[in-house]
């Protein structure tokens, strides 16, 4: 299965789950403090929305980063970068639930449409200056949607909706999750997330 197919399935699962949330659930605090469910939805919109701009930008001759190294602990996770990330999620999250769902669907559709026009081996430049294969960057977007989907599900709480496609695709980033009887629990553990009732966990960007 291609990464665009995986991203499509996981984003559709997320939007379907968000559509079923009761109104009060949108203001539940998630483990990614200080974000509420609505702010985390805003963050997901923000990180997926970067795809079209990267595709419209220059194509370097070679990649220097892959999906795993994209999350290295440098200035991209500095206090100031995290403050900007938090503020953007909260700004977008200020919309109504219906507006957030509509924007998420629109953003994911545009990202996928643009990605599918690109030739195999297309390289893009991230906002951090990394040169990455587009498929590698899209893998980071699968991770964003998958793990933050777990954060939202745990905050409500409702059963996780992690798709088999995303769980399988992310095994190459987290080999310990391969063959796990509970893929969602394995992905929580692999990304430093606390048990369902916990309040800790990594925030990606």
Could you give the CA distance from residue 58 to residue 81 in angstroms, rounded to a whole number?
Answer: 24
According to the CATH classification, is domain 3-190 in 1.10.533.10? no
Could you give the CA distance from residue 88 to residue 35 in angstroms, rounded to a whole number?
Answer: 11
DSSP state of 180: -
Q: Could you tell me the residue ranges of all domains in the chain?
A: 3-190
Residue 72 — pLDDT band, cuts 50, 70, 90?
confident
Angle made by CA atoms 77, 65, 83, in degrees to the nearest 5: 15
Could you give the CA distance from residue 161 to residue 121 in angstroms, rounded to a whole number?
Answer: 31
Here the tokens at position 10 are: 């996981």
Q: pLDDT of 27-68, one tens digit each?
A: 999 999 999 999 999 999 999 999 999 999 999 999 999 999
* In contact, 128 and 71? CB cutoff 8 Å: no
Please give the model's pTM, rounded to 2 decimal places.
Answer: 0.93
* In contact, 132 and 126? CB cutoff 8 Å: yes
pLDDT surpasses 50 at 200: no
């Amino acid at each position: 299965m291609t990464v665009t197919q995986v991203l499509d399935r996981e984003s559709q699962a997320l939007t379907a789950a968000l559509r079923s949330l009761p109104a009060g659930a949108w203001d539940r605090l998630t483990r990614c403090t200080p974000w509420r469910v609505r702010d985390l939805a805003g963050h997901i919109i923000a990180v997926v929305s970067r795809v079209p701009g990267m595709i419209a930008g220059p194509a370097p001759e070679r990649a220097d980063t892959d999906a795993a190294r994209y999350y290295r602990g440098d200035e991209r996770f500095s206090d100031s970068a995290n403050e900007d990330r938090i503020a953007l999620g909260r700004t977008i999250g200020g919309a109504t639930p219906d507006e957030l769902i509509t924007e998420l669907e629109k953003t994911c559709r545009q990202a996928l449409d643009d990605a599918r026009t690109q030739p195999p081996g297309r390289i893009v430049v991230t906002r951090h200056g990394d040169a990455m294969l587009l498929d590698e960057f899209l893998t980071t977007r699968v991770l964003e949607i998958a793990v933050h989907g777990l954060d939202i599900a745990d905050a409500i709480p409702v059963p996780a909706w992690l798709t088999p496609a995303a769980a399988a695709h992310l095994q190459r980033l987290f080999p310990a999750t391969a063959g796990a009887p509970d893929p969602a629990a394995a992905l929580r553990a692999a990304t430093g997330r606390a048990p369902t009732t916990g309040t800790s966990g990594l925030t990606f960007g």
